[in-house]
Structure 1
């Protein structure tokens, strides 16, 4: 390796076409200027395969990257040119372009460090490099030494971005064909996760309503209500206010079961059981008397600190339900204003359909509440809001209450901060519901929007309107398909030997065919291989071999397409589980190729089938909605240790 030197460079504004550049210096000397960076980003250095990977001194950050002039690779100029053009055409923020440069840097650093310098000179070279790169990522994940699947996803996306930049989207997909797709946490319709959403929705609503009912009706402490069938007692104290079977009382002057101050004997017994200490009646009486006085004082005032604390928790829980119902982001919800322009309206066609108009940053906006149940919930929140304000004003629909030292409320009201929106989870977990119920991330709530709306008894047409798509789309993507809609679909086909198109046969589903995990079988129990040279042998007891059997038939309908895409999904996971990467590719790649060949032939049947394929691909490969058989198969893989 030659000496690393600082070369002469020039700075290029982002919004300039490569063709408009003048001067004797080429793109290998170019640095792109971005508003998001304090110094230009040296993209021209990518043209040199031997270069400085990172700066050691902060003072050198504004200087060009040191390179070995002799390592100049002319083919890299095309990639740099494409990067400049993409930056010029991009209408968004400079931070996005900064991310693109970082992705290219990550990819090229690996290629240059692993002797794949010419990876971007041809699709074949690119495929070999990408496969090796992915295999390394999978291996690092399996080592379980801090490199997570999420890290793998980020690195793989960076490589794919660079491939698309150089070769285009279609060529990039071909290059990546047959290579393991690394996945982070699976976004499929995991039943357990759906139960978490259901549980959380009900819990937040129960907490909000339980507290608001006690507050608005000026009931005395302790408040008693149920959260998902579990009895909760809410006390007036600053700490350990709520108790349930998930967090019972330890040492306390309170009787949890009966919701009152303990007797002398109860308190003495409690102290002895907890610490082994024996106290006298006088000491117990003094402590209990003080606790009773504090409780009486809390019950003598309508807007004291203890009640405002309960109201704050109630409002936060209503906010969680509101966000799950409207699918609003944190940045949106904190801007909502509450003034005279806020009103709700009925749908012209369905009187049970409600929407509500708000103002956000002075601009009118509308969000659908579903039906009278959603509207009723929102009106409940407004009552609590008015109770908290108690004659004061705050322009924001959701707000925070100012506090003084000692957690005493100041009477001031402020705009809610984004990072505080979902903090309520930390207040309720392990008290109102078990610790194992995870926090629901709003980035994933839309997937379960139908579930949330169904829990609030919203009509299916209304659900579709709220999600801004048709009832048909809602049914196809978010609910289980109706078997009656899977009869007499378009055509049957099968490419029997080596995928020859002339051997694709079409017919309507016949009664003697048997449904199998990957499609249908025309002669169950009589497996006949399409060729003798197969790694995966046809076997009626194995779901993988069906695709290489002469009796296999796949219909161009939703049922069989979902089966095949589910198979692809599970194959990706199985590859990640395998300890022998090369062997897993050798075994599964022919299977993947066979499925893709089937899809290729299927697309030729009609535009309707082509649309069906795209639709199911999104449902399965993106949303992770698998057929029951492959869902079970995937769960078994997960039990064996695959990380999704």
Structure 2
């Protein structure tokens, strides 16, 4: 069905709303959250809205004939409701934005599927919510949405329907999709090469700009960059113009720019000569070229004679943003916490763990702390000098702030898009530079602590619970994953023996056989369990371990796995489960995979007999029965 969509008048209201504000013409209102993102709530006054993405700064296209009094009044109440939640401050405004974004998507679906009164009628909303849930379940079956994503969507919509429309049913009444915590994916870690590339470039540019600002150095100013960038003598020269610099990757397109600034020699960091300008064929005569050169010289003199020139402020702002990225990468801070971080210059430094320092200060009546590496402390102190320079005589409650367009406004809290802006600036130097998200930096930090200390240390460093660390951040990079996979797979093929064969020195064991009993030898450094011939599980990591590709030995290792699955919950320390039990499961799976190549039917049959019928190997059966009698397992 074709609709006559048209542009409507809109106006922006910041949340929370000012006290006493009148919400006249709610159909015009676009609400703006504290982090800069907006929701076109006013468009909900119309039951027919364009599904096309709206242009930033504008509202959605609507069919003006589809507006109604009931919807308009409900939207007015919804805007008040959202404002009250933002004003209460109980839930982060970023979280609230996400929740109501999901709720708007639900209303979009409702209006498109015949439930146009769901925004103001609780019975219609209830019916629509049930149908919406069925639609989402179909998405799961088609692998278009993950189970946990659907669960979160339903949770958001249900809570808003309860709080806003007064839905009085319980969650259980709607058969909502449950969260599958086992399916939660840990954040993928960035590859080591990507991390090195980002930090090398970011660190070099920060160093160069910090020196420029702190020491009031003159333009043109040279910044050292990594050799792979391709700059002459590894120096990138910056000038106080709209074309900050011309990296090797920008050389070819320079001539196509509206203002290529030929008066500046970006390769050697100096004023161009008349001969160099003549080669560009951009000026009709010598006099025109000379005027351009003179103008460029005056610009340099003007900027270099003014310590607080606007161009210096711009480069200082870039410098501050680059340190934000450095701190994000090295501290493992949550992005929202870092963005919201209040500051007071009266801070103290203490030692928390070798190689790390804790910065502590008080702000807004609270004690604030952040853990950073010792190696970052000099840069942190230089950053504070740049920060003081940017503020001048002004004050700002946040550690990081923005100064608006061209860095000429008043200090205010940074927006989420600042990270994107940082990467865009760096890509002008290195076009192929990948982005590493705030969550990936955080995950990488947690992974380092997990590998070098333990879950508790990672939780302290990231200021999270142990459970969050294990579920969300205990991932590995592709580089490390390939290395670890190789370690766990090491020796698997060599350990598998053909059916009905036995070596002369072979001794049967509860998990297969041993070719040299009493002489344990680890397959690799620091195995999860050190082989010592006293622990059956340690055999999986021993060079002398052997396994026949027959039913008897297959039943042994499947029975071992079954018993471990039944008893691993008895280990109170979850980190032990992660560091010891999980590697055993992984190793057993490798062995079974190799046997499966030779007799898949046998492996499947024995697995069913053990796990469904309880037909365990005698050794493991007796062990399990003893635990059952003791009441340890069911």
TM-score by length of 2: 0.51
Per-residue deviation, residues 562-585 of structure 1 (Å, max 9, x unmatched): 34578999xxxxxxxxxxxxxxxx
Partner of 2:586: 562
Alignment partner, residue 377 of structure 1: 379
| Per-residue deviation, residues 331-351 of structure 1 (Å, max 9, x unmatched) | 32233333254222234x75x
Cα separation, partners in 2 of 1:396 and 1:109, compared to 1, 3 Å: closer
Of 319, 335, 354, the residue aligned with 2:357 is 354
Q: Deviations over 1:86-140 (max 9, x none)?
A: xxxxxxxxxxxxxxx99865443467xx8xxxxxxxxxxxxxxxxxx75x414xx
Q: Would you say the 8 A contact 1:197–1:448 is kept in 2? A: no
The answer for the alignment partner of 2:119 in structure 1 is 61
Instruction: Give the match for residue 208 of structure 1.
Output: 206
Partner of 1:8: none
Cα separation, 2, equivalents of 1:486 and 1:587: 23
CA offset at residue 597 of structure 1? 4.7
- 1:239 Cα deviation after fit: 2.0
Pairing 1:448–2:434 present = no
> What are the Cα deviations for residues 413-464 of structure 1, in whole angstroms up to 9, with x where unaligned?
23x23324424334324223333412x222232220157889xx99999878
- Rounded to whole Å, the distance in 1 between the matches of 2:608 and 2:309 is 71
Aligned to 1:108: 134
- What SS does the aligned partner of 1:243 have? coil
Distance in 2 between residues matched to 1:461 and 1:374, nearest whole Å:
23
Residues 267 and 450 of structure 1: is their aligned pair in 2 closer, same or farther, counting only changes over 3 Å? farther
Deviations 1:153-188 (A, max 9, x none): 6348779999x969999x997xx99xxx7x98x844
Structure 1: distance between partners of 2:455 and 2:442: 16
| Residue number in structure 1 paired with 2:268 | 258
- Partner residue of 1:295? 300
> Please, which runs of 5 or more residues in structure 1 have no aligned partner?
1-32, 39-51, 68-79, 81-100, 115-132, 139-146, 272-276, 497-502, 531-546, 570-585, 610-644
Question: Is there any run of 5+ residues in structure 2 with no aligned partner, and where?
Answer: 1-76, 84-109, 159-170, 256-260, 500-507, 525-538, 565-579, 594-599, 628-634
Aligned to 1:327: 332
Residue 357 of structure 1 deviates from its aligned partner by 1.3
> 2-side partners of 1:268 and 1:604: how far apart?
93
Aligned-pair distance for 1:211?
A: 0.5
The answer on whether the counterparts of 1:221 and 1:235 sit within 8 Å (CA) in structure 2 is: yes
Q: What does residue 466 of structure 1 align with?
A: 461
| Shift in Å, 1:316 | 0.5
Q: Could you tell which deviates more after superposition, 507-516 or 380-389?
A: 507-516
Distance 1:154 1:353 in 2: 37
Give the direction of change, closer, same or farther, for the CA distance of 1:295–1:508 in structure 2 (3 Å limit): farther
> Aligned partners of 1:66 and 1:215: how far apart in 2?
61
TM-score normalised by length of structure 1: 0.51
Deviations 1:593-642 (A, max 9, x none): 679959x9899979xx9xxxxxxxxxxxxxxxxxxxxxxxxxxxxxxxxx
**Counterpart among 421, 428, 431 of residue 431 in structure 1:** 428
Which residue of structure 2 aligns with residue 41 of structure 1? none
Q: In 1, distance between residues paired with 2:358 and 2:222?
A: 33
* Residue of structure 2 equivalent to 1:315: 320
Q: How many pairs does the alignment contain? A: 423
Q: Which residue does the alignment assign to 1:123?
A: none
Deviation at 1:363, TM superposition (A): 1.5
Give the whole-Å Cα distance in 2 for the aligned partners of 1:458 and 1:550. 34
Corresponding residue number in structure 2 for 1:228: 226
Q: Distance in 2 between matches of 1:449 and 1:595?
A: 44
- Identify the residue that residue 5 of structure 1 maps to in structure 2: none
SS at match of 2:359: strand
Distance (whole Å) between structure 2 residues aligned to residue 421 and residue 211 of structure 1 = 18
Q: Is the CA contact (8 Å cut-off) linking 2:115 and 2:124 kept in structure 1?
A: no
Per-residue deviation at 1:212?
0.5
